Amino acid sequence: MQASRAVLWISLLGFAAFGLAFTLFPAQMAALVQVELPTDTARTDFVATYGGLELGVAAFLWVCTRRDERLHLGLVASALVLAGLGITRFAGILVSQQTEPVEFVFLGIEIVGVVLSYWALRRPQPSV
């Protein structure tokens, strides 16, 4: 359980960090991935989509860390969200003419997160 909880906390903190970064520094984060935010509406949608969604996932994972019987669910959710991000990012990289290095950094983070979550899910759990 300790390893599962630790992996879930790592994932939770990653989602929270990215969510806060996209929420508090939308212009800088948008520039990092070459997204323009020409209007207040665009900025609001960017913050809600990239900040709010990540913070919501972090909150869900936090709820999952609070009870042993929810750890499995949290790890599955973390793995699936990160896999969804990673698979679509990888597809985007494949069809792109030119990809900035930051996309490979994000892809690496997503792959590591999926592997860690899967590893924690495969560990034998003690009998209750």
Rounded mean pLDDT, 39-64: 97
Mean pLDDT confidence for 65-94 = 97
* pLDDT interval class at 127 (50, 70, 90): low
- Are 117 and 5 spatial neighbours (Cβ–Cβ below 8 Å)? no
pTM, rounded to two decimals:
0.90
Flag whether pLDDT at 112 surpasses 80: yes
Domain spans, the chain = 2-122
Mean pLDDT, rounded, of the chain: 95
pLDDT-derived band at 126 (thresholds 50, 70, 90) equals low
pLDDT at position 55: 98
- What lies within 8 Å, CB to CB, of 114 at 6+ separation is 79, 82, 83, 86
